Amino acid sequence: MATNVAREIAALARMTASNLRARCTEVFGEPTRTGNRTWLVRRIAWRLQALAEGDLSEGARAAELARDADLRVIPPGAGPRPRACAWLRPRPGS
């Protein structure tokens, strides 16, 4: 990682949430509504690194997403239905 990218990433940890939102707008070109500092730091750091060192190809990105996808094993509606809680059932005679 280039030293200037490392410095920029280290500076992100010292920024406030509003400063991170502004930086995210600069880096991605569109505003964000989140105020979660951890998520913003990670997302901006990823983008800065991708811009500096190159991003994944479309094929590599698709393969990575497919590997991490939670695939459904049982089709919807094929398994046993969950039972309603006893306190949700109407009382006899009501």
Is residue 75, in this structure, part of any structural domain at all?
Answer: no
**The two structure tokens encoding residue 53:** 């060192």
Q: 76-89, pLDDT tens digit by residue?
A: 666 666 666 666 67
* pLDDT score recorded for residue 29: 92
Is residue 70, in this structure, part of any structural domain at all?
Answer: no
**The two structure tokens encoding residue 45:** 């750091």
Q: 26-75, pLDDT tens digit by residue?
A: 999 999 988 899 999 999 999 998 888 887 677 777 777 777 666 666 66
* pLDDT score recorded for residue 68: 63
* pLDDT score recorded for residue 57: 75
Is residue 73, in this structure, part of any structural domain at all?
Answer: no
Is residue 77, in this structure, part of any structural domain at all?
Answer: no
Is residue 66, in this structure, part of any structural domain at all?
Answer: no
Q: Which residue has the higher pLDDT, 8 or 94?
A: 8
CA end-to-end span of the chain:
69
* pLDDT score recorded for residue 50: 87
Is residue 38, in this structure, part of any structural domain at all?
Answer: yes
Domain extent at residue 43:
1-59
**The two structure tokens encoding residue 59:** 């094929």
* pLDDT score recorded for residue 66: 72
pTM summary value? 0.58
| Total structural domains within the chain | 1
* pLDDT score recorded for residue 85: 66
Is residue 10, in this structure, part of any structural domain at all?
Answer: yes
Is residue 90, in this structure, part of any structural domain at all?
Answer: no
C-alpha angle with apex 58: 49 to 35, nearest 5 degrees? 45
